[in-house]
Amino acid sequence: MALYASDMPTRYRYSRSDDAQVLDWVSQGIARLGRDEIRQRASRLAGHRKLWLRDMTTPEIDRRHKARFPSARRLGNAEETASLSISWIRVTPAARNLPAVIDGPCPKCDGAGKLWANWVIDEMSGWFEEGYGPCPLCQDGGAA
């Protein structure tokens, strides 16, 4: 996230000898956006990926995603550079465990956060109970 908002060239290719430069870009991006904004963007990016992996993105959610990250190439490169350099950038536990947040009405529960379904209580005995339960797509909070 921080790299996306920094002066890092979109076509930049990471190399070990650039570590100091990458760290500068990270600091620059954090200074531009602020930590809260970066966390929120990272959570929404995780939420978008979760839907995308399930082929469940909606036009509305895609539109917001593209507004936040107009350049898919830049986003890919920023993520790649971050993953290559993550071993030396200290990641706080809070940043590692960011919840995946869906930016828009959830396509599974329509934003209600709950679903009427048959919930498996015990698979072995075939015990199901029908009723409302938390939406597994948008309410479990974990990344995909």
Residue 51 binds Zn ion, judged by CB under 5 A: no
Compute the least distance from the CB of residue 132 to Zn ion, in Å. Answer: 12
Residue 135 binds Zn ion, judged by CB under 5 A: yes
Of the listed pieces 11-19, 74-82, 85-93, 131-139, which binds Zn ion according to CB under 5 A? 131-139
Q: Hey, is 138 helix, strand or coil?
A: coil
Residue 137 binds Zn ion, judged by CB under 5 A: yes
Q: Are 12 and 77 in contact (CB under 8 A)?
A: yes
Residue closer to Zn ion by CB (options 82, 138) is 138
* Token pair listed for 48: 């978008």
Residue closer to Zn ion by CB (options 13, 114) is 114
Residue closer to Zn ion by CB (options 2, 115) is 115
Burial letters for 77-97: b for 16+ Cβ neighbours within 10 Å, e otherwise?
Answer: bbeebbeebeeeeeeeeeeee
Burial letters for 20-44: b for 16+ Cβ neighbours within 10 Å, e otherwise?
Answer: eebeebbebbbeebeeeebbbbbbb
Q: How far, in Å, CA of 13 to CA of 8, rounded? A: 10
Residue closer to Zn ion by CB (options 30, 117) is 117
Residue 138 binds Zn ion, judged by CB under 5 A: yes
Residue closer to Zn ion by CB (options 29, 104) is 104
DSSP codes joined into one string, 53-69:
HTT---HHHHHHHHHH-
Site string for Zn ion, 98-117 (x = CB under 5 A): --------x-xx--------
**In the complex, which residues of this chain contact Zn ion (CB under 5 A)?**
106, 108-109, 135, 137-138
